[in-house]
Each structure stands twice: as structure tokens, then as C-alpha cells.
Amino acid sequence: MYHRLKKGAVMTLKKWSIATALVLLAPCAPHAATEANFAARTTGDLVELCAASPDNSIGTAAVNFCNGYAQGAVSVEMQNLAAFRGPKLFCMPNPPPSRNEALSEFVKWARASPDRLAQPPADGLFRFLGERYPCPPSR
């Protein structure tokens, strides 16, 4: 049985369909890094830099900043562990993931829980690494 919809009902249905599509696609929308993100005050700032598309000068600078920040933080932490023999925050697998792979996972991990975005950037990065690459239990 076919019922004709009134013109207003069709327009309302179209508006709701468009609104629903926008809501569903919003998490997939690209995020753009801004100059303010370069202060790297939070994990959210670092995430925006790491997720930037290097299709313009700020995007290229953002990706380079992200790579340098992550590499520097991990290198310093590994040097500290070697010098002080404390408990490890994370244990990289052998072979380790590529930097791009790990940072892509970091972005997904951080965005999955908004409370993570407010942490200091190094804390967020090391928390991710600890959860993603935990050390085996010591015997």
C-alpha cells in the first residue's frame, strides 16, 4: 500500500536524512592543525598535529613537529631507563612498528576517549605506548 507524503513531510525527511548523515560522518571529518596546537600543551594539541594532512605548509610543519616530539620523548625515556634501571613504561616489539603506524594508532587511541585529550602530551603518549606495548610481567 503506497501513501503519498505531503510536500512538507518530504522536505522534513530530507532535512533529517542530511542531519543524520552529517552526525554520522563528523567523526571521520579531517581535523586541521592550527598554530595554537604547536604550543603542545595537551595530548589533544599533539593529536591535532599528528593527524594533520601535509598538503600545505602548516600541515607539513605539524606532521614534522609530531614526529620530532614523539621521537624525542621516546628517546629521552629510553635513555632515562638505561641510566636509572627503573621500571619500563612500555616495551616495543621486535621489529617495532613504523613511526607512522604507531602515531596513527596514537591518534585513534586518544580520540576514542576525550578525557585523554586533556592530559599533558608526554603523559598521553606514554600512556598510549604503555597500553599498546605493555612489558611482559617480570618473574
33, 44, 91, 104 from 79: Cα distances, Å: 30, 26, 14, 24
Q: Is residue 23 included in any domain, yes or no?
A: no
Q: Is residue 44 included in any domain, yes or no?
A: yes
- Split into its structural domains, the chain has a count of 1
Q: Is residue 20 included in any domain, yes or no?
A: no
Q: Which residues, 6+ apart, have CB-to-CB distance to 51 below 8 Å?
A: 30, 31, 33, 107
Q: Is residue 2 included in any domain, yes or no?
A: no
Q: Is residue 72 included in any domain, yes or no?
A: yes
Average pLDDT of 113-126?
97
Residue 84: pLDDT band (50, 70, 90) is confident
pLDDT per residue over 21-50, tens digit each? Answer: 333 333 444 568 999 999 999 999 999 999
3-class DSSP state for residue 43? Answer: helix
Full domain range(s) for residue 104: 31-132
Give me the pLDDT at residue 19, please: 37
Say if residue 17's pLDDT is above 60: no
Q: Is residue 71 included in any domain, yes or no?
A: yes
| Chain centroid to CA 95 | 22
Q: Is residue 15 included in any domain, yes or no?
A: no
Q: Which residues, 6+ apart, have CB-to-CB distance to 56 below 8 Å?
A: none
Of residues 93 and 20, the one with the higher pLDDT is 93
